[in-house]
Amino acid sequence: MKRRKFIKNTSLSGLSLVTANAFAKSGIMQDNNLNKIVKPIVVATWRVPNATKKAWEILQDGGSSLDAVEQGCRIEEADINNTSVGKGGLPDRDGNVTLDACIMDKEGNYGSVVYLQDIVHPVSVARKVMENTPHVMLAGKGAKQFALSQGFKSENLLTESSKKAWEEWKKKSEYKPIINIENHDTIGMLALDKNGDLSGACTTSGLSYKMQGRVGDSPIIGSGLFVDNEVGAATATGMGEEVLKTVGSFLIVELMRQGKTPQQACKEAVMRIVKKSGNRYKDFQVGFIALNKQGEIGSYCIHEWFNYQVYAKDENKNYKSDFYHKP
Ligand code: GLY
């Protein structure tokens, strides 16, 4: 073998080995053939098999990643048993269910709604903001007015059981966010379609019993969600205030741009939050998921039991995220 060719082959196989080892350590899914892009693929925060199934069906039919993430998120928004998004979401301390959501497409277009009331599907309103207005974000009454003008129906989102939980909470009125509340929180979803295009969406009712008017990371570009179709996408769950302060999802995409794997990038973003928080990280959860252009995924969180759902290669599986705090 000529020397040049030998060197080329050696360094390539060395690179493959390093990459394979990195993935083996992180425990994330990866195709055995390192050159083969895993697509389509959808990944979402938490255990949401119905949501990823819906998104997968769209992707398998050749639909766009944008349609997939919107339709996937809608499944959770309509599920009244999911108390952290859409209908049935737990209210603020005054009993108002206020929703935040956003969506971002392969061209870097972005739409978002904050403090939206009485509309079951904020993710779809966010998409309408992106597609049918010259703006990227609408808030409160204006967002609702816009939603109604687009044909969305107004309805009471406070279910009997969420009302009961709120009334119970009011007895002590103790504001204490619970880590991994009911094993659910913000639903963030990222997808890579058959064309190799990335999109993402994020939807939440925010922290339960929050102050009236509080908005978290989920509808804020770069914090709760960021997509760059040249590189990858990331989304967040957990304590929005902490994600906002580090612009976590943008940070992850930029780290991937610099060559980090999704797993390494998620871990670095979590570690930045941990370090800046002093000891406070013990009392709150933050989790990230990321997906790159090759269909590789990563996830990292502060506390145990954050998990994420992946639908790829005809399998809809839930994975436990790696985590920092191992007391
Ligand atoms: N991550 C959702 C929120 O803090 O509102």
* Per-residue model confidence as pLDDT tens digits over 233-269: 999 999 999 999 999 999 999 999 999 999 999 999 9
Q: Is the pLDDT of residue 226 over 70?
A: yes
For the CA of 237, the closest atom of ligand 1 is 1
Strand segments (E) across the chain: 41-45, 99-104, 110-116, 137-139, 187-192, 198-204, 225-228, 232-238, 286-292, 297-301, 307-312, 315-320, 322-323
Cis amide prior to 177 (ω within 30 degrees): no
Cα distance between residue 216 and residue 227, in whole Å = 18
Residue 115 is classified by DSSP as E
Q: Which of 123, 180, 204, 210 to mutate to test the pocket of ligand 1 (most atoms within 8 A of CB)?
A: 204
Cα distance between residue 327 and residue 68, in whole Å = 38
Atom 5 (ligand 1): residue with closest C-alpha?
Answer: 206
What domains lie within the chain, and their CATH numbers?
A: 6-320 (3.60.20.30)
Q: How far is the CA of 2 from the centre of ligand 1 (A)?
A: 58
Tokens at 145, concatenated: 């007015």
Q: How far is the CA of 241 from the centre of ligand 1 (A)?
A: 7
* Three-state secondary-structure class, residue 307: strand
Q: Which of 239, 247, 285, 306 to mutate to test the pocket of ligand 1 (most atoms within 8 A of CB)?
A: 239
Q: How far is the CA of 1 from the centre of ligand 1 (A)?
A: 58
For the CA of 214, the closest atom of ligand 1 is 5
10 catalytic per annotation: no
* Per-residue model confidence as pLDDT tens digits over 37-61: 889 999 999 999 999 999 999 999 9
Q: Is 281 exposed, middle or buried (0-12, 13-18, 19+ CB in 10 A)?
A: buried
Q: Is the pLDDT of residue 324 over 50?
A: yes
What pLDDT is recorded for position 179? 59
* β-bridge mates for residue 286, sequence order: 238
Q: How far is the CA of 185 from the centre of ligand 1 (A)?
A: 8
For the CA of 215, the closest atom of ligand 1 is 5
List the catalytic residue out of 45, 52, 98, 186. 186
Cα distance between residue 226 and residue 281, in whole Å = 23
In 3D, which of 250, 216, 258, 220 has the Cα closest to residue 233? 250
DSSP string covering 235-293: EEEE-HHHHHHHTHHHHHHHHHHTT--HHHHHHHHHHHHHHHTTTGGGG--EEEEEEET
Q: Is 285 in the pocket of ligand 1 (CB under 6 A)?
A: no
* Per-residue model confidence as pLDDT tens digits over 53-95: 999 999 999 999 999 999 999 999 999 999 999 999 999 999 9
Residue 181 identity (one-letter amino acid)? I
Q: Is 11 exposed, middle or buried (0-12, 13-18, 19+ CB in 10 A)?
A: exposed
* Per-residue model confidence as pLDDT tens digits over 165-193: 999 999 988 776 665 544 458 999 999 99
Q: Indicate the angle between helix axes 262-276 and 3-26, nearest 10 degrees.
A: 50
What pLDDT is recorded for position 177? 62
What pLDDT is recorded for position 5? 36
Q: Is 244 in the pocket of ligand 1 (CB under 6 A)?
A: no
Q: Are 228 and 255 in contact (CB under 8 A)?
A: no
Cα distance between residue 211 and residue 227, in whole Å = 30
Q: Is the pLDDT of residue 153 over 60?
A: yes
